Amino acid sequence: MTHDSISRRRFLSSTLTAAAAAPFGAGIALAADADPTVLGQGKFRYRRVPDFSLRKNGGEVKVKDCHEFARTRSGSMILCTTHTDNNLIEFSPDGKVVRTFGTTYPGIHGLNISDENGEEFLWITDTERRIVVKLDMKGKEVMTIGWPKDSGKYEKEQQFCPTETAVNPANGDFYVADGYGSNWLTHYDAKGVLKGAYRHEGFNCIHGVAYDNRNPADPRLLVTSRAANKLFTLSLDGKNLGHVDFPGAWICRPVVHGENLFFAVINSGRLSWGSDFRGFVMVLDKDNKPVSLIGGTPPTAGAEGESALYRNLEPKPFLNCHDVHLDPEGNLYVAHWNSKQTHPYKLVPVA
C-alpha cells in the first residue's frame, strides 16, 4: 500500500469520526477519493495543473514571496510578490503575463481591489515600509496611510505593521488589519480620515480582513486571527459578533466566493508556530462550517496531539500557501510564501 493510500484511509477514518461529533468536520463530505491526485471533498475537489507558471516572452517572470491575488473587472488576475523587479503581476488564466508594475514595495503583503464609480483601485500593504497604499490601475499612488498615531493606540511607528485591507463598496470606508504589529483593526472613511480602532480578546496576528456581503441585508467584516486559529465576525463598526475555532489551522485571509469562504492555511497540526510548514486550503459554507479540506484532514473527536487538530495530508500538497483565488470557471490558484521563488499553483475542478 502506498503512502498516499495510507494517508487517505486515515483521512476517511478521521472524517467519519469527526463528522459524527460536531462541530469538527460536520460539513465535510464523507467519501475519500480513490485518486490520490484529487484533493478535497464534495463539490470542492481539484487536481493540480502540472507545469503551470507565469510567463512573458517565453520565460518565467521573476517572483519572490508570492502573497495575494486580486481580480480585475476585465477578468485578469493580479498577484503581488516581494520581488521588486515586478511587485505586481497581471496575468490571464493560462499564465500569460499581461504586464508587471511596481518596484518600490519590498514588503508587499496584502492585495485588495475596489471599484469606485466604475474606476478600479488596488490596495496594498507593505510590511517592510509599514504603510498602506492605494494605487490606480496604472500604478500611481493616490493615497498612503502610515501608522495611526491619532488613534491613541500606538506609542511609536514600529508598533504598526499592516497585513491586509478591506473596502466597504457602499461608502468607500476601509479597514486595515495590523496583523504583524499590535492587532488593531483601524477604520477609515473613503478620504482616509480615522473613524475607529478595534481590538478584541482572541486577536493574535489578525492576518486578514474581508468585507462579507454574503447577506446583502447585513454585511459584516471577517477577521482571521491566525496565531489563535480563529475566524472572527465583526459588525461594520467593529463590534465582536463571535468567532469560530479551527484548532491547529493557521488561516491567512478570508476570501469570499459566492456563499463560500476559502482560506489558505499556511501551517497546521500544531498550536505553536513551526518552520516545517504544513499547509492546505479550507472551504467553509455560508454558516462558516467546513465543507472541504483541499489537502487537509479534520480533527478526530476525542483525540489528543496532532490528531485533535486540523492538519495537512502527507506528502504535503502545497508549500507555504498564503492566499487563494478562484476564476469564473472555478479554477483555484494558490500563492506560496517563502518557497524558493515558487510560482502559484493552478488547480482545476474535478466533476
- What pLDDT band is residue 24 in, cutting at 50, 70 and 90? very low
How many domains does the structure of the chain reveal? 1
Average pLDDT score over the chain:
91
Instruction: Quote the domain boundaries for residue 258.
Output: 3-349
Per-residue pLDDT at 33: 65
Neighbours of 29 (CB within 10 A): 17
Look at 11-15, 61-65, 250-254 and tell me which has the smallest mean pLDDT: 11-15
Give 168's contacts (C-beta < 8 A, 6+ positions apart). 174, 175, 211, 219, 236
Residue 343 has pLDDT above 60, yes or no: yes
pLDDT digits (tens, 9 = 90+) for 87-135: 999 999 999 999 999 999 999 999 999 999 999 999 999 999 999 999 9
pLDDT digits (tens, 9 = 90+) for 175-211: 999 999 999 999 999 999 999 999 999 999 999 999 9
Per-residue pLDDT at 275: 84
Q: Are 282 and 296 in contact (CB under 8 A)?
A: yes
Cα dist. 281→40, 46, 67, 272 in Å?
A: 9, 11, 15, 19
Which CATH number fits the domain that encloses residue 23? 2.120.10.30
Q: What is the 3-state secondary structure (H, E, C) of 214-234?
A: CCCCCCEEEEEEHHHCEEEEE
Per-residue pLDDT at 22: 35
Per-residue pLDDT at 9: 35
Largest Cα–Cα distance in the chain? 62
Cα dist. 251→86, 122, 147, 225 in Å?
A: 26, 23, 25, 8
Per-residue pLDDT at 309: 96
**What value does the mean pLDDT take over residues 145-171?**
98
336 compared with 32, residue with greater pLDDT: 336
Q: Which 8-state DSSP code applies to residue 96? A: B
Cα dist. 218→208, 212, 242, 289 in Å?
A: 20, 9, 15, 19
Q: Which 8-state DSSP code applies to residue 21? A: S
Beta-sheet pairing, 97-101 with 38-41: unpaired
pLDDT digits (tens, 9 = 90+) for 287-336: 999 999 999 999 998 899 888 999 999 999 999 999 999 999 999 999 99
Q: Are 254 and 263 in contact (CB under 8 A)?
A: yes
Strand order in the sheet with 220-225: 206-212, 220-225, 230-234, 240-245
- What pLDDT band is residue 32 in, cutting at 50, 70 and 90? low
- pTM for the full model? 0.91
Angle at 165 between CA 163 and CA 171, to 5 degrees: 165
Specify the 3-state DSSP secondary structure of 26.
coil
